[in-house]
Amino acid sequence: MVRITLVQGDITAETADAIVNAANSSLLGGGGVDGAIHRRGGPEILAACRALRASHYGKGLATGQAVATTAGRLSAEHVIHTVGPVWSREEDRSALLASCYRESLRIAAELGARTVAFPAISTGIYGWPMDDGARIAVETARTAALAPVEEVRFVLFDDRAYAAFAEQLHAP
Ligand code: ADP
Q: What are the residue boundaries of the structural domains of the chain, listed by start?
A: 3-169
| Type of residue found at 135 | R
Q: How far is the CA of 125 from the centre of ligand 1 (A)?
A: 8
Residue identifier of the C-alpha nearest atom 1 of ligand 1: 122
Q: Would the CB of 41 count as within 6 Å of ligand 1?
A: no
Q: Would the CB of 85 count as within 6 Å of ligand 1?
A: no
Count of C-beta atoms within a 10 Å radius of residue 58: 8
| CA pair distance 125, 140, nearest whole angstrom | 21
Q: What is the mean pLDDT of residues 78-100?
A: 98
Q: Would the CB of 6 count as within 6 Å of ligand 1?
A: no
- For residue 171, is pLDDT > 90? no
Domain 3-169 class, CATH top level: alpha beta
Active site residues: 34
Q: Is the pTM of this model over 0.95?
A: yes
Residue 164, CA distances (Å) to 61, 100, 158 in order? 28, 19, 10
Q: How far is the CA of 124 from the centre of ligand 1 (A)?
A: 5
Q: What tens digit of pLDDT does each residue of 48-75 get?
A: 999 999 999 999 999 999 999 999 999 9
**For residue 172, what pLDDT is reported?**
74
Q: What tens digit of pLDDT does each residue of 19-41 get?
A: 999 999 999 989 999 999 999 99
Q: Would the CB of 29 count as within 6 Å of ligand 1?
A: no
Q: Are 113 and 77 in contact (CB under 8 A)?
A: yes
- For residue 43, is pLDDT > 90? yes
| Type of residue found at 83 | V
Q: Would the CB of 36 count as within 6 Å of ligand 1?
A: yes
CA-11 nearest atom, ligand 1: 24
